[in-house]
Amino acid sequence: MLEHYSKFLDKVEKFIGGVIVFLLAAAFLVIFAQVLLRYVFAMGFPWTEELARFSIIWLSFLGASVAIRHRKHLCIDVIEARLSKKPRMALNVLTDLLLISFFIIMIVIGYQYAFANRSNISAGLRISMAYVYIALIVGMALCVLYAIELVWKRLATGEVHPYGPVVKQDKTDNPDSD
């Protein structure tokens, strides 16, 4: 069952990766075109800044979800590094469950903002601001799916946090040392 769930999330991640690339390219092209139009032709379009901003908002939330799956977010593991395998595993699962709770709270808040702002129209693109707030809902929902996979894998395999204990540097490894 875990294997099927992971394969499904692999397909979701592949699609999300394509969307992220598209949004990044769109933001870059729109910003480049606006700069070119403004400084070379002394004109511009009012909607380009909004499109770039909304694209970056969407790619940030989508990218954050992919980073959850690959455990690429910043982690402070001072306590964890000093624990043996079983307590570390318990701490990892507890942390993941707290993250899932946080993501669910953010989904609820995102829904409230999207619903409250559904009639607000953006100045440049003339679209409902709910579309911008839906990025929070989609991103956090993906984070929940990916975090569930992490917990499931931890419990099924006994895997502990991949960062492990802190490794001390040798004096020879640090060029700044005396």
Residue 103 has pLDDT above 80, yes or no: yes
Are 81 and 165 contacting, i.e. CB atoms less than 8 angstroms apart? yes
Give the range of the structural domain holding residue 127, as residue numbers without chain letter: 2-162
Query: Is residue 176 in a domain?
Result: no
* Tens of pLDDT, residues 143-168: 999 999 999 998 888 877 654 433 44
Answer for the pair 103, 140: CB distance below 8 angstroms, yes or no: yes
Helix (H) or strand (E) holding 21: helix 2-40
**Residues in Cβ contact with 88 at an 8 Å cutoff, skipping those fewer than 6 apart:** 80, 160, 161
Question: Is 133 a member of any domain?
Answer: yes
pLDDT at 108 over 50: yes
Domain-located, residue 171: no
Computed over every residue of the chain, the mean pLDDT equals 88
Residue 9 lies in a domain: yes
| Token pair listed for 139 | 């991103």
Report pLDDT digits (tens) over 43-95. Answer: 888 899 999 999 999 999 999 999 999 988 887 778 888 888 888 888 888 99
